[in-house]
A = this chain, B = another copy of it.
């Protein structure tokens, strides 16, 4: 049986957690848009014409905070999408692989919450960042070791 068969529970888990993460990334866009409207702060002159009293500013702390949380997603979530798919092909134990996918997904959702929704003191964000980071680093190392002969 191929690893990328829909009969493989690890592949099915990969698919559903990847889709949740995709929707989560899209949600950051809505959060940025909402924050911009509430703060009346936009990045383009043409955008300000849609909202009374809106201004072009690049240093609104609330908007920039959401944008940093979003950018942090872009630095980490596409890495998961690719590395977790490759990891599926190494035939990991299903329960362990699913645990890793869950830890990553939960960590990233918490990261966005403690960064951009209800900013908490450190090390809240460091932990919510670190667990997914270590998860992808571990899967990446496993994939490299498994396929090292293909170098």
Which residues of A come within 8 Å of B, CB atoms?
2-6, 9, 12-13, 15-16, 18-20, 22-23, 25-26, 28-29, 43-44, 46-47, 49-50, 65, 68, 70, 74-76, 78-79, 81-83, 86, 89, 119-123, 125, 133, 136-137, 140-141, 143-144, 147-151
Contacts and interface: CB of A to CB of B under 8 A. Distances in A.
A83 B49 contact: no
A16 B151 contact: yes
Main secondary structure of the interface of A (DSSP, over half): helix
Contact of A74 (B20, B49, B75): B75
B19 A143 contact: yes
Given A12-B147, A15-B86, A68 B46 contact: no
Quick one: copies of this chain in the complex? 3
A47 B144 CA distance: 33
Nearest to A12: B150
A62 to B, nearest CB: 12
Contacts of A89: 6, 15
A27 to B, nearest CB: 9
Contacts of A20: 140, 144
Given A119-B46, A121-B49, A23 B144 contact: yes
